[in-house]
Structure 1
Amino acid sequence: MISANRSARAIGILIFDGFQLLDAAGPISVFEMPSRGLSPAPYSLTVYSLTGGAVRASSGVQMHSEKLPAGLTLDTLIVSGGEGTRAAMADAAMLSAIRDLSDRTRRTCSVCSGSFLLAAAGLLDGRRATTHWRRSEGFQRLFPAIKLDADRIYVRDGKYWTSAGITAGIDLSLALVADDLGDDAAQAAARELVVHHRRHGGQSQFSVMQDLKLASGRFDALIGWIRTNLADDINVETMAERAGMSARNFARVFRAETGTTPARLVEKLRLEAARQYAETTALSIQQVAEKTGFSDPERMRVAFVKAYGQPPMVLRRQRQAS
């Protein structure tokens, strides 16, 4: 059998004609971060294809790949998605290679529509999975034996990890780093990549950020700071000071730029984070309230009922039941 560097976890990224460039580049960048300045490095990275050589992404950009060798063993296989997924699904050699490689791999993962390839290879039958929201209906029609959790950022079922669209591959990869090296290593990688926070798998593909009508990137840094400091006392004066503006002018410009008020955005971000913690962690409701800046669990409960129609404990039980 062939194996990559024995002192490092071998990560293989599988690409094909018409793959989505970020499906490969995102995970590559994540796994690069923990290896910087370390010897031996915790990860070794290789991009593979069936034929080797330059492979054209859907954008037209080409990425170099190694020819997938027979008998290769990996720690983690990550299958890219993209516009070329349909043709790859019809390639018997591709599906056979994925099945064979998965048998010799500790973790088998997909990004975006790469889940179609895992499913077509028969690896996900009876398991939970996710994919890009735009492809979810087609996925369910093609693979009714798979329990599609269409609203999740990523899903882990045993050795199989699947992620939602494109940038969710970064979240999945950060989760893999956390699984291997701990949360501190994953958070450090996220900071290096200027990812404001690591989204957990239970988080919805649709977030507060997608609802903002951002006219420019003027407040990106401020919003990133808010998201990482939700436990603090964040008021308009504090935000205005960080933005270098008077409170009155800040409130006016912020609303014009984002379509919402500063206070309302903070509340929405706190609710989103609190729901994530309530549904995906074992933290007590008191701890969730403190961690997300609500402080008082009753205040958080009222906010949950107003926003979601249910208190946090009910949402937690519903999530656990599903």
Structure 2
Amino acid sequence: MHRIGYFLTEGFQIMALGTQSVFEFANVVAKEQVYQVTNYSLTGGVVTSSIGASVNTLKATCESQADTWMVPGIVDPLARDSTVEELNFVKTAVAGAQRVGGMCSGAFVLAEAGLLEGRRVTTHWAYAGALKQRFPNTHVEPDHIFINDGSIWTSAGLSAAMDLVLGMVEKDLGHKVANRVARVLVMYHRRSGGQSQHSQMLKIAPKSDRVQTALDHARANLADDLSAEVLAKVVHLSERQFRRVFLFETGLSPAKAVEQLRLETARNMIQRGRHSLEIIARETGFRDRRHLREVFIRKLGVSPQSFRREAREGDAGE
């Protein structure tokens, strides 16, 4: 039996407990008790969530053991740091576990405990910048709904934690069980960790009409040459001036912005499933199917084929 321990602190986000349903229904689908879920806290007894709902817990001690520890965050992780006692328990508990999941701002707890050094992680988009600034040796990737780096799992918002836990179930019990659990829970489909928290097109918000015109041209002509030289001519600027203005207004180089726009359009086309990957690569400006796959895996952590398969299985399960 795989033991799941939820380490709760005062003010924890109540939605974190919803992820326990994934383990519950994994037992139902598997027709055996694969998972045993237990709530812990430093003091034991009643712990109050951010919304005021109370949960009974067992006292967390050095003898408390779990194969997987789940660590929820609080509504505002910048409002307070974890206590020394909380961090000491997390360090001790994780050392004897197979894996740990930092849900939403729970990533801050893991980082404070020194568990995220050199790791790829994500957290809620509103706090990704703060996590990166406070822990510069942690590789924060805000454009993922969850990331699995070895024994460390982290998710974006708490709805994304459902996908994270489904990912754990898939790792433990296989793809078919995970998808059956998703269908039982009436989730659209199990989203891969590479799915974005936000549209890249919405995140690129220039201040001037010239840069906006360049982006509009790029969106409408993804299959064409969209080098900085070409885009600069579209808006009647020198290439050097265009690069400088574009970077200042968007925080991205023209090449990076174009790649993001191409990737998002390709992702949407793959999810709709109407065209082959060869056609999608050609229409979105990638050199070929192999180039599309390389960028997909590098940026999203999943292959186009896997992404399409999950989308189709989700549609079939509706």
Q: Per the shorter chain, which TM-score range?
A: 0.5 to 0.7
Who is 2:51 aligned against? 59
- The answer on whether the counterparts of 2:82 and 2:109 sit within 8 Å (CA) in structure 1 is no
5+ residue gaps, structure 1, are 1-7, 212-270, 277-287
Who is 2:8 aligned against? 15
Shift of 1:13: 0.9
Shift of 1:37: 7.3
Could you say if the C-alpha distance between residues 297 and 154 of structure 1 is closer, same or farther in structure 2, counting changes exceeding 3 Å?
closer
Shift of 1:311: 6.2
Confirm whether residue 113 of structure 1 aligns to residue 105 of structure 2: yes
Shift of 1:321: 4.8
| Percent of aligned pairs sharing the same letter | 36
- Match of 2:284, SS state, is helix
Q: Which region of structure 1 is more displaced relative to structure 2, 150-159 or 95-104? A: 150-159
Distance in 1 between the 2:191 and 2:175 partners? Answer: 12
Distance in 2 between the 1:272 and 1:319 partners? Answer: 10
Distance in 1 between the 2:185 and 2:162 partners? Answer: 10
Give the alignment's Cα RMSD to 1 decimal. Answer: 2.8
- Match of 1:73, SS state, is coil
- The answer on whether the counterparts of 1:21 and 1:58 sit within 8 Å (CA) in structure 2 is yes
Confirm whether residue 170 of structure 1 aligns to residue 147 of structure 2: no
Q: TM-score of the superposition, structure 1-length normalised?
A: 0.67
Distance in 1 between the 2:287 and 2:124 partners? Answer: 27
Deviations 1:42-95 (A, max 9, x none): 000001111111211111111221111322221111100122645663400000
- Match of 2:6, SS state, is strand
Distance in 1 between the 2:2 and 2:177 partners? Answer: 15
Who is 2:293 aligned against? 316
Deviations 1:3-54 (A, max 9, x none): xxxxx1000111111111112x222010000212766400000011111112
Confirm whether residue 136 of structure 1 aligns to residue 128 of structure 2: yes
Could you say if the C-alpha distance between residues 39 and 171 of structure 1 is closer, same or farther in structure 2, counting changes exceeding 3 Å?
closer
- The answer on whether the counterparts of 1:89 and 1:95 sit within 8 Å (CA) in structure 2 is no
Write the letter of the residue equivalent to 2:167: A
Confirm whether residue 301 of structure 1 aligns to residue 274 of structure 2: no
Write the letter of the residue equivalent to 2:13: Q
- The answer on whether the counterparts of 1:116 and 1:139 sit within 8 Å (CA) in structure 2 is yes
Distance in 2 between the 1:107 and 1:204 partners? Answer: 24
Question: What does 1:257-276 align with in structure 2 at a 5 Å threshold?
Answer: 275=267
- Match of 1:105, SS state, is coil
Deviations 1:182-209 (A, max 9, x none): 011111111111101111011111269x
Could you say if the C-alpha distance between residues 50 and 130 of structure 1 is closer, same or farther in structure 2, counting changes exceeding 3 Å?
same
Who is 1:74 aligned against? 66
Q: TM-score of the superposition, structure 2-length normalised?
A: 0.68
Could you say if the C-alpha distance between residues 26 and 85 of structure 1 is closer, same or farther in structure 2, counting changes exceeding 3 Å?
same
**Length, aligned pairs only:** 239
- The answer on whether the counterparts of 2:278 and 2:289 sit within 8 Å (CA) in structure 1 is no
User: 2:20 pairs with 28, 33, 48, which one?
Assistant: 28
Distance in 1 between the 2:289 and 2:18 partners? Answer: 33
